[in-house]
Amino acid sequence: MKKPSNFNRRSLFALPYWLYMTVFVVVPLLMLLFFAFYNNGHGFSFAEVTKYFTDSSQWATIGRSLRIAFLAAMLCLCLGYPLAYLIAKIKSQKLQYLTLMALVAPMWINGLLRTIALKDLTTLLGWAAGEDLLILGLTIDYLPFMIMPTYLVITGIPRSYLEVSADLGAHPVTTFFKVELPLSMAGLISGFLMVFTPAVSTYYMSEYLGDQSTFMIGEQLNTMFIKDNKSGAAVIALVLLAIVGLSVVLTNALSRLGNRRGGLY
């Protein structure tokens, strides 16, 4: 039996969410598209888009941003995964949480403050601003985003899998590479994305820790706003959206090769 009236009444509860989605997701996206092709009030044209994509320096900025974010994400992965693994293997549950807290606690401090503090510290140590420092800063800043999902995935691997592996003749090192690492893949991928996504569009980090040679998309966006070039800004925002969207699709495709469970994306 169909009860259409009942269904309608219940769907009313979804209204606030529809409203929210429309106002904060759909409309802004449409506005982005509108501004990108409206050419700062000169009517509909592809001028801004063409200008952006024919400018080789813009391509260089995209490439640079991708490279810096990728290196930072890889560094986070190389540091964060072993750290998360070691924490997950601590016997005392209390000590596990304490260590995890200690690593996540810096995130409670305002990001800008942290960046300025890091800048001051490195100046004191005599390190010059530039790509190396920027990558280091991004790594330090986003490390917790790598540790959390990987930690969750490692602690989620049932102990019986490790016991079966040992039972079948695998040394603990073999077990790590044949069982734990493959089963951590989902966490590694979501950790990678959680670092890469904000890093690729960072603004204040490159502003404080980088120099002219590290000009990134985020700064470019800022320049557009300073110049009051709304259409230019909209084009860059769309490019960023595409980069993030593509990286999610790409990594998800990769993860389908490995394990399907766990992770946050």
Residues that bind another protein (CB under 8 A): 158, 160-161, 163-172, 174, 178-179, 182-183, 258-259, 261
Kindly give the interhelix angle for 230-257 and 27-38, rounded to the nearest 10 degrees: 130
Would you say 123 and 112 are in contact if contact means Cβ atoms under 8 Å apart?
no
Rg (CA), the chain: 23
Report the residue number, 56 or 160, with the smaller CB distance to another protein: 160
Residue 236 has which token pair?
């860059």
C-alpha span between 105 and 38 (Å, rounded): 45
Report the residue number, 167 or 228, with the smaller CB distance to another protein: 167
Strand, coil or helix: what is 216? coil
Would you say 144 and 107 are in contact if contact means Cβ atoms under 8 Å apart?
yes
Report the residue number, 71 or 170, with the smaller CB distance to another protein: 170
Place of tokens 């290196």: 71
Closest distance of CB 189 from another protein, Å: 14
Closest distance of CB 156 from another protein, Å: 11
Closest distance of CB 171 from another protein, Å: 6
Closest distance of CB 260 from another protein, Å: 8
Residue 181, CA atoms < 13 Å, CB-side half-sphere:
10
C-alpha span between 131 and 240 (Å, rounded): 20
- Residue 127 is given by DSSP the state P
Report the residue number, 2 or 159, with the smaller CB distance to another protein: 159
Closest distance of CB 233 from another protein, Å: 44
Report the residue number, 10 or 261, with the smaller CB distance to another protein: 261
